[in-house]
Amino acid sequence: MNLSFFDQFSSPSFLGIPLILISMMFPALLLPSLDNRWITNRLSTLQLWFINLVTKQLMMPLDKKGHKWALILTSLMIFLLLINLLGLLPYTFTPTTQLSMNLALAFPLWLATLLTGLRNQPSASLGHLLPEGTPTPLIPALILIETTSLLIRPLALGVRLTANLTAGHLLIQLISTATTALFSTMPMVSLLTFLVLFLLTILEVAVAMIQAYVFVLLLSLYLQENI
C-alpha cells in the first residue's frame, strides 16, 4: 500500500518510452494560437489579460535592464502554472513532482543570473559574499557561509517546488483512499472525509498557483541582485 502511494510520482511509459515529454508539451496545446484578426474572442482576451498581469507582477521588482528577461520569466510562470494545475486532474502525471526536472529548470536560470552579474558588475556581485563592516576574524567564516547560501539557491528552488507538490498529492491520495474505504462501513465519517478532501483540493489549487509564482519570483529577485 505504501508503495502504491508513490507510484503516481513515477514517470509513465509506453512500450518502454517515457511519456514525460508529452506531459510537459501538452500545456502548450491549451493556449490559443495568435492570429492577425483585430477582433479576438473572449479566450484570447482573457489570455492576453492574464499574461499582462503576470508580466507586470514579475517585472515590478526589476530595473529596466531586467525587463529583457520578461519573455523568459513569463513563459516559465505560465508553463509551471499549467503543469501544476493539470497535475491535479485524476489519472494525470505532474512533471514538477520530479526533483530532476525542477533542478533542470532552476540551475541554468540561476547560473544565468549569476553570470550576468559577474559580467556586468563583478565587484558588486562578489561584494555580496562579504557584508560591509565585517570584523576581520569573521571574514573567512562569513565568506564560506555566504558562498554556501549562494550555491544552494537552485537546490532550494527545486526542492521547495517538489516538496510542496508531492506533499499535496500524497495528502489528496491518502484522504481519498480513506473516503472510499469508510464509505461502506461508516458513511457519515466518509462524508466528513470527503468534505476535507474537497477543501484540500481547493487548497492544492492555490498551492499549485502560489508555488509557480514563488519559483519565478525568486528567480527575478536573484536577477535583480545581479543587474
Residue 96 lies in a domain: yes
1 pLDDT exceeds 60? Answer: no
What mean pLDDT is reported for the chain?
82
Please tell me the total count of domains within the chain: 1
Q: Is residue 5 part of a domain?
A: no
In a domain, 9, yes or no: no
What is the rounded average pLDDT of the residues 111-135?
80
Residue 58 covered by a domain: yes
**pLDDT tens-place string over residues 49-104:** 888 888 888 888 788 888 888 889 988 988 899 889 888 888 777 888 888 889 99
**Mean pLDDT value of segment 31-42:** 66
Residue closest to 164 by CA, chosen among 53, 80, 72: 80
In a domain, 1, yes or no: no
Higher pLDDT, 26 or 152: 152
Considering only residues 166 and 122, tell me which one the structure prediction assigns the higher pLDDT.
Answer: 166
Q: What percent of the chain shows pLDDT beyond 70?
A: 85
Q: Is 175 domain-assigned? A: yes
The pLDDT score that the predictor gives to residue 9 is: 65
- Domain holding 154, by residue range, is 16-226
173 in any annotated domain: yes
Question: Is residue 145 domain-resident?
Answer: yes
Closest C-alpha among 161, 143, 135 to residue 213? 161
What is the SS3 string spanning 135-197?
CHHHHHHHHHHHHHHHHCHHHHHHHHHHHHHHHHHHHHHHHHHHHHHHCCCCHHHHHHHHHHH
